[in-house]
């Protein structure tokens, strides 16, 4: 049997509220992939809707960890980054990627910084320019539509969208930022569906994955989506297949939390999808 594939997940640890590493680690592991973690900060909760959260910045620890790993000659099949707290962390991540990436490492960057037309309050107005530099070294970027607009310096418009506009947006993100591929989340064309669009610059391949819309927003869904996308890519799915698996898994997680009436800030019930995750990815791959 071939050895395990290995992903490096670089995110914060939000101790309560299911997002970032507390989502990436269980999901990617459940997909049968070894998950190395690099926590960039430790917070009592994520920053979405909680007051008075603690924030321990771990910027100073990052390079020491990377340098130790370099002495071990570790190989990563993918590097997956999410929430970053400062320009310094963005620069560190670019350096980390250049040191730890091999020729076959897929670099997946989630430019976590905004949602619903607004940059998160803790970031300065020029943060998108910093994140854009990070996107330039990515194989796949996974912005939501607000992040896409900020990265391109455009105004955000709420969904529903026109398919040609979404395709153009994905193409512009690749061309203007330099990323090889884009998976755009929060894409809908009518009031009843929501999902993602994917675009690969090299082939020009554009695909959509849509599911029934659940009329409630939950925190951490972007990280659930990103983690499944990374897991599926590392398991050999195409970009379009990985986006489809990620949409289906995320929507099913949202549906369970909606059914249970869970507080939106507490994250979604991805746990009850973990046992079926490998089967879902393999089913989507077989199509
Ligand atoms: O889910 C993205 C995320 C991750 N980590 C922290 C956050 C957020 C989004 O708000 O606040 C700390």
pLDDT along the chain (287 residues), means of 10: 93 98 98 98 96 97 98 98 97 98 98 97 96 98 98 96 97 97 97 97 97 96 98 98 98 98 98 98 97
- Identify any residues that bridge with 55 across adjacent strands, giving them in sequence order: 43
| pLDDT one-digit tens code per residue, 54-79 | 999 999 999 999 999 999 999 999 99
CA distances from 279 to 179, 182, 239, 272, 276 (A): 30, 25, 17, 14, 5
Contact criterion met (CB below 8 Å) for 83 and 50: no
**Torsion 16-19-20-22 (CA) sign:** positive
Phi, psi of 219 (to 5 degrees): -75, 150
Ligand 1 atom with minimal separation from the 220 CA: 1
Rg of the chain in Å (alpha carbons) = 17
CA angle 82, 54, 9 (to 5 degrees): 20
The whole-angstrom separation of Cα 81 and Cα 194 is: 24
End-to-end CA distance of the chain: 25
Q: Would the CB of 120 count as within 6 Å of ligand 1?
A: yes
For residue 254 the two structure tokens come to 């949202």
CA distances from 202 to 78, 175, 196, 199 (A): 19, 11, 19, 9
**Torsion 82-287-204-107 (CA) sign:** positive
* Nearest Cα residue to atom 1 of ligand 1: 220
Q: Would the CB of 47 count as within 6 Å of ligand 1?
A: yes
Tell which residue, 84, 72, 87, 88, has the closest CA to residue 6. 72
pTM of the model as a whole: 0.98
The whole-angstrom separation of Cα 110 and Cα 11 is: 10
Output the pLDDT for position 139: 98
Number of helical H runs and strand E runs in the chain: 9, 11
Q: Would the CB of 43 count as within 6 Å of ligand 1?
A: yes
Contact criterion met (CB below 8 Å) for 41 and 14: no
Q: How many CB atoms lie within 10 A of CB 180?
A: 15
The whole-angstrom separation of Cα 270 and Cα 239 is: 21
Ligand 1 atom with minimal separation from the 23 CA: 1
For residue 232 the two structure tokens come to 């599926």
* Nearest Cα residue to atom 8 of ligand 1: 46
Output the pLDDT for position 153: 97
Residue 53, CB half-sphere, CA atoms under 13 Å: how many? Answer: 20
The whole-angstrom separation of Cα 178 and Cα 139 is: 9
Q: Would the CB of 12 count as within 6 Å of ligand 1?
A: yes
| pLDDT one-digit tens code per residue, 122-136 | 999 999 999 999 999
Which of 39, 46, 144 is the best mutation target for the ligand 1 pocket, counting ligand atoms within 8 Å of the beta carbon and taking the most? 46
User: Ligand 1 centroid to 20 CA: how many Å?
Assistant: 7
- Identify any residues that bridge with 208 across adjacent strands, giving them in sequence order: 197
User: Ligand 1 centroid to 247 CA: how many Å?
Assistant: 19
């Amino acid at each position: 049997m071939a050895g395990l594939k290995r992903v490096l997940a670089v995110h914060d640890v939000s101790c309560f509220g299911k997002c970032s590493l507390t989502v990436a680690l269980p999901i990617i592991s459940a997909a049968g992939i070894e998950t190395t973690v690099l926590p960039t900060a430790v917070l009592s909760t994520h920053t979405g809707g909680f007051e008075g959260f603690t924030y321990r910045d771990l910027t100073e620890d990052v390079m020491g960890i990377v340098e130790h790993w370099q002495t071990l000659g570790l190989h990563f099949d993918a590097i997956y980054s999410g929430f970053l707290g400062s320009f310094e962390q963005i620069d560190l991540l670019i350096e980390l990627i250049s040191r730890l990436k091999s020729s076959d490492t897929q670099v997946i960057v989630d430019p976590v910084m905004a949602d619903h037309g607004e940059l998160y309050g803790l970031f300065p107005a020029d943060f998108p320019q910093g994140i854009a530099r990070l996107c330039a070294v990515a194989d796949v970027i996974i912005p939501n539509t607000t992040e896409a607009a900020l990265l391109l310096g455009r105004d955000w418009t709420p969904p529903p969208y026109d398919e040609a506009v979404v395709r153009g947006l994905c193409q512009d993100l690749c061309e203007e930022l330099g990323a090889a591929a884009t998976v755009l989340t929060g894409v809908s064309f009518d009031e009843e569906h929501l999902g993602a669009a994917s675009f690969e610059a090299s082939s020009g391949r554009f695909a959509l994955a849509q599911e029934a819309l659940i009329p409630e927003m939950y925190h951490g869904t972007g990280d659930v989506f990103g983690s499944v996308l990374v897991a599926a890519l590392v398991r050999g799915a195409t970009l379009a297949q990985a986006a489809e698996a990620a949409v289906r898994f995320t929507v099913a997680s949202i549906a369970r939390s909606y059914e249970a009436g869970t507080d939106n800030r507490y994250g979604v019930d991805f746990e009850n999808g973990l046992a079926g995750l490998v089967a879902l990815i393999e089913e989507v791959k077989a199509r």
